[in-house]
Structure 1
C-alpha cells in the first residue's frame, strides 16, 4: 500500500493575495529544476497568480555576474552554491535578505532559528542540503557490508578498486575522518602541517587501488560497470541509480560531507516584489519538505523534517535517504568553504604532485 503524506499549508502559511506579473528564476536544469517546478513553481502560481519563468544553465552564478556587470539584469531569483553566493555578495552583486522577512515555522519559530547553521547569510537562503558520500555495490559484500568511512580505506577487509575524486577537496577531510579524527575537529587538524601529512599518508593507503573521477555521473557508472566496489560520490546520483534504475548500490552516511545550495536575488532584478514573494514561499518549511520528496536533498529547515514523506508517488520513504536525517548526521561534516578559499591553491599543487608521484 502506498503511503501518502499531505502537507496542509493552510495551517502554517499566510494567505497569499492573488497578484499578477512574472518572476524570472534561474536554476541548474534536469531533475533538480524539475523538483523546484513541482515543489515551488506550480503551487506558487496557483496560490499567487504570479507566473514563474524558469531558465536552466550549467551554473547560474556565471550569468548572474555577467548580467549585473552589464547593467542588464533579467533574473529575479537564482539558485547557486553557498561559496558563489558569498563571493557575489561580497562583490555587491546581490541583494541582502533580511531573515525577518522569511516565513516562520508552524509553531512560530523564526526562520533565523529554524534554518540549519549556514542556511542563511547576508544574501543567501538555503533550499537544500546535498552530500559527498561513499557508496558501494552491496552484491560485492553480501555477508559483511562496509558501514564506515574507515572501511573505504580498508582494502584488506574490503578488497577491490575505489572510485576517488580527482581533487583534494573531500579527499583530505575523508582521509582524516577515516584515520579517527572526529568530524568537528577535521578542519582544525587539517590546518596544521602535521594534519596535512596525516591526510596524505592515509590517502597513500588506497592510491594503488584508486580509479580517479572528475564528473558526477562517473561514480555510479564505475559501480555499475564493476570497475570499482566502492566510490566517493554525490548522494543524489547514487539514490537515483538505486531507486530509479534498480542498481544494488548503498550509501555509507558515516563521514558524509554536506553542503548547501539556495536562492539569491541579483541587484536590480526586473520584478523585485514578486521575487521576494517567491523566495518567501519557496523557503517555507512546507515547500522545502515538498522538494525533499522530489529529490534526495535534505531540507535546510528543522521544521521541514517531520513533513517529509515518500519519494514522489511511491512507497519509498525519503527521510532515510536524506543527508539531514538525524540517523545520517552522526559523524557528518559541514564543508568549510573558508578553509578551501584560503588553501585551495597550495593543496591543488600538492595533490597534483601526489597524483604524479
Structure 2
C-alpha cells in the first residue's frame, strides 16, 4: 500500500505564498533517516511549492541554533530536533512559535492537535516521529523459548548469555525498575526518590558482570551478529535496518520500550518564515509521515498517519497500537532535573566491583 499525499487546497493556497522564498535550509541527522526525509518530504515539497530545500546535518543539541540567533546570523530554517532540545530552545526563545491550528488536519477532519500523541505538538514543535530504545535479541540463540519481557533481559539463568547495554543511566535505570516490578506509569516517580535509585542499581548489579557496554548506535547489531551478546539494548531503527537489509535473525522486545519524540522546529529570526512554515505543514501531513515509516521504522506520532501505514510494517513501529503495552515515554522534565546527579551516580557505580 502506498499512501497518497492529499494536497488539495494546500497546494493552491500555501504553496503560492511560499514560492516567494527561493530556498530554505532543512537540517536533520544525516544518514538513511535524512535521505528518507528528503525522499518523502523535501523533494515533493520542492516540486509542489517551487522552493529549493537545501539540506544540512548536525549532531543534535542547541548550541549551533543559539549561536545563529544570538549573532543575528540565522542560516538554518527548519530543524529536526529531539523533544528535550526543543523544550530547552523554546524556553530560551531560540525558536519561532508554531500554531497547531495551522497544521493540516487528519483526513477525517480531526484537528492536528487532537491527532497527535501526548507531547507530540507544542508551541515550538510540530512532531513527526517517535523512535525507541528497547531490548532486542538474536533469535538463533533462543530457539524454543524466546524472551518477551524486560524482566527476561535480567534473567541470566533462563536466558543465558552476555547483555549489551548503552553506557548511560538513561534507559538502563528505567528497565531495571520495570524488571523489578515497577509499573511503567510509576517509573519516574520511583526513580525520583533515593530509594528508587538504589533499587534500580541493585537490579543492575544482578547482571553487571555480564554486561558489554556500547556507546554508538551501530554497535548493538554488530555485537548480536558476532555472538558477543545474546540480548542488547538498541535503537529500533538500527535493528530494523539490520533485519530488513542484512537479513539478520533479530527480534524486538517491545515491553518496556522507552519512546523518544522528535519534531520540526523553526529557527527564530529566519528570513524565510513563511516558506519554513509551509514546509513544516507539508512534512507533518499524515500521508507524508506514513510514507516515512517503512523507510526508517520510526513511528508516526499522528494517529491518522499510523492508520495509513502498510500493516506489514506496523509490527516494527514504536507507535503501533500493538506495541504500546508496557511502553515508557521518556520524561524530558525528569531527565532535565536529574541527569547530572544520575550520571554521576552511574559513573561511580561503573567503577565499583
Q: Does the pair score TM above 0.5? A: yes
- Give the SS at the match of 2:300: coil
Matches within 5 A, 1:128-207: 128-207=129-208
Residue of structure 1 in register with 2:330 after alignment: 335
Matches within 5 A, 1:200-239: 200-239=201-240
CA deviation vs aligned residue, 1:115-165 (integer Å, no higher than 9, x gap): 110111221111110000000000001110111111000000000000011
Residue of structure 2 in register with 1:264 after alignment: 265
Matched, 1:74 2:75: yes
Separation in 2 of the partners of 1:141 and 1:48?
52
Give the structure with the larger helix fraction: 2
Match of 2:347 among 347, 352, 357: 352
Contact 1:80–1:264 (8 Å) recurs in 2: yes
Residue of structure 2 in register with 1:313 after alignment: none
- Give the SS at the match of 2:96: coil
Contact 1:28–1:59 (8 Å) recurs in 2: yes
Matches within 5 A, 1:1-357: 4-10=1-7, 15-16=12-13, 17-18=15-16, 19-20=19-20, 21-59=22-60, 61-309=62-310, 317-357=312-352
Separation in 1 of the partners of 2:107 and 2:194?
48
Once the two structures are TM-superposed, the CA of residue 217 in structure 1 deviates from its matched residue by 1.1
RMSD: 1.5
Separation in 2 of the partners of 1:73 and 1:167?
33
CA deviation vs aligned residue, 1:236-258 (integer Å, no higher than 9, x gap): 11101111111111111110000
Separation in 1 of the partners of 2:11 and 2:187?
42
Separation in 2 of the partners of 1:182 and 1:95?
37
Contact 1:39–1:294 (8 Å) recurs in 2: no
Identify unmatched segments of 5+ residues in structure 2.
none
Separation in 1 of the partners of 2:11 and 2:109?
12
Once the two structures are TM-superposed, the CA of residue 13 in structure 1 deviates from its matched residue by 5.6
Separation in 1 of the partners of 2:161 and 2:224?
11
Separation in 2 of the partners of 1:253 and 1:285?
24
Residue of structure 2 in register with 1:314 after alignment: none
Cα distance change on mapping 1:12 and 1:144 into 2, 3 Å: farther
Separation in 2 of the partners of 1:40 and 1:293?
14
* TM-score, scaled relative to structure 2: 0.95
Separation in 1 of the partners of 2:110 and 2:75?
34
Bigger mean CA offset, 69-78 vs 5-14: 5-14
- Give the SS at the match of 2:281: helix
- Give the SS at the match of 2:346: helix
Once the two structures are TM-superposed, the CA of residue 109 in structure 1 deviates from its matched residue by 0.8
Once the two structures are TM-superposed, the CA of residue 60 in structure 1 deviates from its matched residue by 6.3
Once the two structures are TM-superposed, the CA of residue 277 in structure 1 deviates from its matched residue by 0.5
- Give the SS at the match of 1:131: strand
Once the two structures are TM-superposed, the CA of residue 63 in structure 1 deviates from its matched residue by 2.1
Identify unmatched segments of 5+ residues in structure 1.
311-316
Contact 1:166–1:214 (8 Å) recurs in 2: yes
Separation in 1 of the partners of 2:57 and 2:166?
26
Bigger mean CA offset, 63-72 vs 221-230: 63-72
- Give the SS at the match of 2:223: helix
Once the two structures are TM-superposed, the CA of residue 5 in structure 1 deviates from its matched residue by 2.8
Separation in 1 of the partners of 2:9 and 2:287?
8
* TM-score, scaled relative to structure 1: 0.94
Contact 1:132–1:232 (8 Å) recurs in 2: yes
Contact 1:24–1:77 (8 Å) recurs in 2: yes
Count of aligned pairs between the two proteins: 348
